[in-house]
Amino acid sequence: MKLVELVFPAMAVVLVLLGLVVTVKAEIYIVTVEGEPIISYKGGENGFEATAVESDEKLDTTSELVTSYASHLEKKHDMLLGMLFERGSYKKLYSYKHLINGFSVHLSPEQAETLRHTPGVKSVERDWKVRRLTTHTPQFLGLPTGVWPTGGGFDRAGEDIVIGFVDSGIYPHHPSFAAHHTDPYGPLPRYRGKCEIDPDTKRDFCNGKIIGAQHFAEAAKAAGAFNPAIDFASPLDGDGHGSHTAAIAAGNNGIPVRMHGHEFGKASGMAPRARIAVYKALYRLFGGFVADVVAAIDQAVHDGVDILSLSVGPNSPPATTKTTFLNPFDATLLAAVKAGVFVAQAGGNGGPFPKTLVSYSPWIATVAAAIDDRRYKNHLILGNGKILAGLGLSPSTHANQTYTMVAANDVLLDSSVMKYSPSDCQRPEVLNKNLVEGNILLCGYSFNFVVGTASIKKVSETAKALGAVGFVLAVESVSPGTKFDPVPVGVPGIVITDVSKSMDLIDYYNVSTPRDWTGRVKSFKAIGSIGDGLMPILHKSAPQVALFSARGPNIKDFSFQDADLLKPDILAPGSLIWAAWSPNGTDEPNYCGEGFAMISGTSMAAPHIAGIAALLKQKHPHWSPAAIKSALMTTTTKLDRAGRPLQAQQYSETEALKLVTATPFDYGSGHVNPRAALDPGLIFDAGYEDYLGFLCTTPGIDIHEIRNYTNKPCNNTMGHPSNLNTPSITVSHLVGSQTVTRTVTNVAEEETYVITARMQPAIAIETNPSAMTLKPGASRKFSVTLTTRRVTGTYSFGEITMKGSRGHKVVIPVVAMGYWR
């Protein structure tokens, strides 16, 4: 795996010359060995009794049985390494004991090869990188009126549910995580996570609301990527991302979002009373390493979290595992689900292109990102009467007053400052304050803003320092697909994002600004005023699938073969989400030093689902992770606020933005509807054995690979992966006709359901039976037959609707591509 380049290449050479050859060549490897992990050990080793749990059951990690077997596994890992290699020639980073049996180790490729051929070693994987997948939404989702009252109001929403965040840490002093203005949080003995002490302040990170806080950086340190000065060897968030995701899922209710003297509204988490458990494994500059992330997940499940929120995904496919579902990341999450933990993972930000998802497996809830109904717009009025639209979360210039406009390049102190890209307006010291004061400063939006070396926040600081009444940033050229987000600023300011409108501005400025023969301005005559951009406009066209949200179809291997499983699973808000930020966070240059940030990404969508899952877990404590996922998926909406089918942002032929009708590859089962999810009527349940069956029947998967990760022989009774009991049906290669089965379980009163199905014309669909009556707790099977009518070379979409006599409505998407026999 390529390590992050050191900042000074010359220094890297010195390291190579002075360091031992072994340390320079060493890499991080994740190794699995024979023998069961704690979660599936059924006894048989001398002196150690069984520790295995049934599917969806919590592990008692404090029991003597578990702790003694854990130390036995760790000793075996140490002995294996000690027998093979000289002390000092390797460094073991973690022993994995709970979910998988193995360890991560820093050693040379030659040593890794020795390990590969050692009896008792099952797999040796080189570590690969992961990255972050970078609030009005409670109201938009109907939580305060429709969901929180059923759980006892917002002050009880998520009570005693623990959400674990594998992310960049947390800023514990933020009001979103304060414990003092709510009812005191009592002890929660079933959660056994520890609280690290801040090495600087000597205070621990927990306060009752934050119930656990640990950090994992052994792999990052071994790889030489960790810098304690900015990465912090503690759970402290040095990035902002971790605080943001934790606040979306479980931040306190009614926290005022204040910036630059303006209140943008009140922020709240989805489950404001849920506890937060922090497992920091992501860092500012380099993202993270799978070995650290796996250690964090292993620890979180050991500690007893109920829900895991993962806004993280692999940078690229792992080098050695061919199967997407069996990389160490997903295999560890399979064991987490076996232990009864619900996992929400960001789908990835590689959209709008097909097959860009970085979350693959059926045991994970893969979340796509939607744009909600809040948009911010602003405008600039020119002296010639033209009104130019733009973006600017800013106050207006004084009403009924216009101001002179001065371009940064026309107010330089002298020509020697050209090397500082002065039109970016990042350095007040290169501009002439006497010419700027009291005027509107015009700046240019260059490539530096795209790469993050220039920021809108800095432009506003420059304008303020020079006494300007406001600023305008003109985008003169734009690479296709550039996304502009509104940024809150304390002075009137606007970004003109449309290149043709920027040209209107520049033409007006040039015509109105007389110059002498050298090009120097004789007098500034262009005038303008900036509108108020602080109030959001609420759109009926919401929700829409965000442009960046990764798309299906799902893949079963890293040669991009289509899987018989629909991904993403569900759509949730993920665009322009206000939430807590870490003041020392640098992930977003526009929010450096701020307490809140408004950012976008599937990273923001996943914690919405994690928080809503906490509300379901609170109401239905005995539901399995699959039952929770099913309730979320079968109750979604596929219509926008205006009652039209959901739209997805897409590129047109000219690479401008356009809207197209969305499909299940964009949104999965649809946009989350928390109120309906609390009472779904029927659920599609599944457990560990079912997921094993899915793996065993997926064509092309190496049976030995499955055994390596699950310690189980294959069972092919499922027949076809499409028969996995998921709340969606996908047949990627429908040859002629195929029948799949599903089993539903009634989680409400006795009810009769009428089953109907519809499909695009290339595929015929039939269901059997056409109706069924289920008593409370009863389960019934139904079958779905798909038949190719026409071969189109594209997927056909449809859905099955089960309408209940008591008003429940259960809908699952159907996706298939037909072939002739």
Catalytic positions: 167, 241, 603
Largest Cα–Cα distance of the chain, in whole Å? 95
**Cα angle, residue 745 at apex, residues 157 and 664 outer, rounded to 5°:** 75
Q: How far apart are CA 329 and CA 360, in angstroms?
A: 11
Contact 440, 471 (CB under 8 A): yes
How many alpha carbons lie under 13 Å from residue 617 in its C-beta half-sphere? 30
How far separated are the first and last CA of the chain, in Å rounded?
43
Q: How far apart are CA 122 and CA 119, in angstroms?
A: 8
Contact 478, 503 (CB under 8 A): no
Q: Phi/psi at 683 (nearest 5 deg)? A: -130, 150
Adjacent-strand bridge partners of 262: 259
Residue for token pair 């009140």: 266
**Cα angle, residue 399 at apex, residues 398 and 404 outer, rounded to 5°:** 55
Adjacent-strand bridge partners of 782: 742
Hey, is 279 helix, strand or coil? strand
| DSSP state at residue 240 | S
Q: Look at residues 176, 303, 189, 301 and name the one whose alpha carbon lies nearest to residue 249.
A: 176
Q: How far apart are CA 440 and CA 405, in angstroms?
A: 5
Q: How far apart are CA 13 and CA 11, in angstroms?
A: 5
Q: Phi/psi at 588 (nearest 5 deg)? A: -125, 110
Amino acid code (one letter) for 369: A
Contact 325, 724 (CB under 8 A): no
Compute how many other C-beta atoms are within 10 angstroms of the C-beta atom of residue 789. 13
User: How would you classify the pairing of strands 470-474 and 493-496?
Assistant: parallel
In 91-135, beta strands by DSSP E? 91-96, 102-107, 121-126, 129-132
Q: How far apart are CA 638 and CA 661, in angstroms?
A: 11
> What is the number of helices (H) and of strands (E) in the chain?
21, 39
**In angstroms, how far is CA 211 from the centroid of its own chain?**
22
In sequence order, the 6+-apart residues with CB closer than 8 A to the CB of 487 are 391, 392, 393, 455, 456, 457, 495, 590, 598
Q: Look at residues 560, 510, 189 and name the one whose alpha carbon lies nearest to residue 358.
A: 560
How many alpha carbons lie under 13 Å from residue 427 in its C-beta half-sphere? 12
Q: Look at residues 363, 344, 251 and name the one whose alpha carbon lies nearest to residue 305.
A: 344
In sequence order, the 6+-apart residues with CB closer than 8 A to the CB of 643 are none
CA dihedral 265, 270, 276, 278 (to 10 degrees): -80
Contact 392, 530 (CB under 8 A): yes
Adjacent-strand bridge partners of 658: 650
Output the CA–CA distances (angstroms, integers) from residue 751 to 365, 768, 780, 806, in the order listed: 28, 18, 12, 6
**Cα angle, residue 60 at apex, residues 58 and 63 outer, rounded to 5°:** 170
